[in-house]
Structure 1
Amino acid sequence: MNPQRAAWWFLTPAILVLGVFFLLPVIAALGLSLTDYDLYALADIRHLRFVALGNYWDLLHQPRFWSALGHTFHFVLVGVPLSIMVSLGAALLLHSPLARCKPFFRTALFAPVVTTVAAVALVWRYIFNTKYGMANYVLGAVGIHPVDWLGDPHWAMPTIILFAVWKNFGYNMIIFLAGLQAIPGDLYEAARIDGASPLQQFRHITLPMLAPTLLMVSILTVSGYFQLFAEPYVMTEGGPLQSTTSVLYLMYNEGFKWWNFGTASAVAFLLFVIMFVVTALMLRVARRGTAA
């Protein structure tokens, strides 16, 4: 049998699964975004109307969509660099020859990633409770007045970003750790012989050798923060005063709270376009940096 034909036979089951459970739903959602499919159409399909790009046009003229988009960019611009720095710092500590009990700390730092969001969010809500939370207890011990962490629009966003970073940084840490272990030790030994300081070794060896890993982690993290939903949902439910409503949370409200499935699908595809453009820009900047 032709090797190419044999390869296609082996790939066919996976392609069928992807087509049925990914491609067809995406096509159906795209078609749904071009209609006014809502609760009335759900009850009687005859109420369904084709509105073409009407849902997209309405969304672009809705203040709540732009507000949710602004909150999402806030999550991305603050959360992504913070998450990457914490992940890289933890990976460097675990990779250090001075570190002890590495398997234990790898497991402990990765544990939040695989822990249920609802469970850890309940703990964090107690920690940041205004009256009896540990955070305000520590502040009170040093003479600072209690802060309404989840009820004040100015503090709710930083609290959720902090929670999201703690919850997700372990995944990137494992990727960075694998990248660090792939760097030849001879490079560091030669740099030490030449008198390079640890900071110079990090700048001229670690960062350049980690560049492909850093790009991949950045793209994955940006994608994750653009799709932030569980954290604001379980911590603040989009409040207070809609100050933590993300685009994905808006999509959830449109689809499963207000039953506007056509609008919810349009929100999803607008978010996809935004993520595609941002990712393409990141790849272009990375290529320019490599070429330079």
Structure 2
Amino acid sequence: MSQPSDIMERPGPVPVVRPTLRARLTRRLGPTGAAYVFLFPWLAGFLVLTAGPALYSLYLSFTSYDLISSPSWIGLDNYMRIATDDPKFEASVKVTLTFVLLSVPLKLAFALAVALLLNRGLRGLTVYRAIFYLPSLLGTSVAIAVLWRQLFAGDGLINNLLAKFGIQGPSWISDPDTALYTLVILAIWQFGSPMIIFLAGLRQIPTDMYEAASIDGASKSRQFWRITLPLLTPVVFFNAVVQTIEAFKAFTSAFIISGGTGGPINSTLFYTLYLYQEAFGYFRMGYASALAWILLVIIAFFTAFSFLTARYWVHYDD
């Protein structure tokens, strides 16, 4: 009779571990080849949907193309016309630069003011953040642009409120002296996105710096100029670059409020609106492509200028 110690347990079946797709690709193609396989969907989308159309538009900028007949090569004629014989181009650049120089600083200042208010430890902070961020989500929609047009019309809500105080308001969107400013106000109203970023930056400033400044007798305004603003300059720089690019690309509000015409005496003829008119209004796609590349150069110039001057006023930890 065998003893219990003599009885050996038979091992069960060993589970088969299948290598993952990533492991199989790495074994066959190497780490670099496997990485390119996973990057292929993004690379294909970038080449087909972004790089390809961009390069084709560069080619079209040297042609005469009306979307119906084949493009015909005309060399630098489109660019020469833009530089020497296009008053609407000059008007659109002037309107767009005015809009950028007014809307971006005012939006950032208002967003920073609201962020400073919310950073004081208000109850229900998440609710306030959601409410203030909502205009950034809705501000570029067609519905908001239509609503804005009704607010600032000759018989709109704004003039009705002014009439209660005996003030006769103009037709804001039909007056060339005030039409652009209604769009600036709409842009400032969309302050939610930079406000959230400012609030995140304020939360990163150490509180002990404020405590030390208070002990030394520094006022709240002095703390803002000497502590808050210098430490917040990287966030200010980021918001300024992003909002400047977005301001140059503004289109929907100008198109809806002006009815696609650029407003009275081209007072709201944004650059993107003029580009749209040339491409889909007059079917001069080659000329519109040249305008698009000039806009790219303008945005690149302002962005490069921002980075070159950042060393003089943006302060990092070091």
TM-score > 0.5, shorter chain as reference: yes
Structure 2 residue aligned with 1:52: 75
Question: Displacement of 1:129 after TM fit?
Answer: 2.0
Partner residue in 1 for 2:49? 21
Structure 1 residue ranges without an equivalent (≥5)? none
- Secondary structure of the residue aligned to 1:210 is helix
Q: Encode CA deviations 1:75-112: one digit per residue, 9 max, x unaligned.
A: 01111111111111111111112x23211111111111
Write the deviation string for residues 16-70 of structure 1: whole angstroms up to 9, x where unpaired: 32222111111011111111011xxx3332xx31112211111112111000000
Partner of 2:68: 43
Q: Is the 8 A contact 1:164 1:231 kept in 2?
A: no
Whole-Å separation in 2 of the counterparts to 1:21 and 1:222:
25
- Normalized per residue, which structure has more helix? 1
Which amino acid is the alignment partner of residue 28 of structure 1?
Y
Q: CA deviation at 1:193?
A: 2.0
Cα distance change on mapping 1:244 and 1:11 into 2, 3 Å: same
Question: How well do the aligned residues superpose, as a CA RMSD in angstroms?
Answer: 1.7
Aligned to 2:278: 254
> Secondary structure of 2:268's match?
coil
Deviation at 1:184, TM superposition (A): 1.7
Cα distance change of structure 1 residues 173 and 290 upon mapping to structure 2, 3 Å threshold:
closer
Supply the distance in 2 between the matched residues of 1:226 and 1:127 (Cα, whole angstroms). 24
**What residue ranges of structure 2 are gaps of 5+ in the alignment?**
1-25
Secondary structure at 1:129 match in 2: coil
Shift of residue 241, structure 1, vs aligned partner: 2.1
% same residue:
37
Partner in structure 2 of residue 217 of structure 1: 239
TM-score, with normalisation over the residues of structure 1? 0.92
Pairing of 1:1-292 with structure 2 (within 5 A): 3=31, 6-38=34-66, 42-45=67-70, 48-61=71-84, 62-97=86-121, 99-115=122-138, 117-131=141-155, 133-166=156-189, 168-236=190-258, 237=260, 238-290=262-314
SS in structure 1 of the partner of residue 264 of structure 2? coil
Which structure: larger Rg?
A: 2
| 2:255/2:273 contact within 8 Å kept | yes
Partners of 2:119 and 2:43 in 1: CA distance: 39
Matched residues, number: 283
SS at match of 2:173: coil
Instruction: State how far apart, in whole Å, the 1-side matches of 2:68 and 2:161 are.
Output: 54
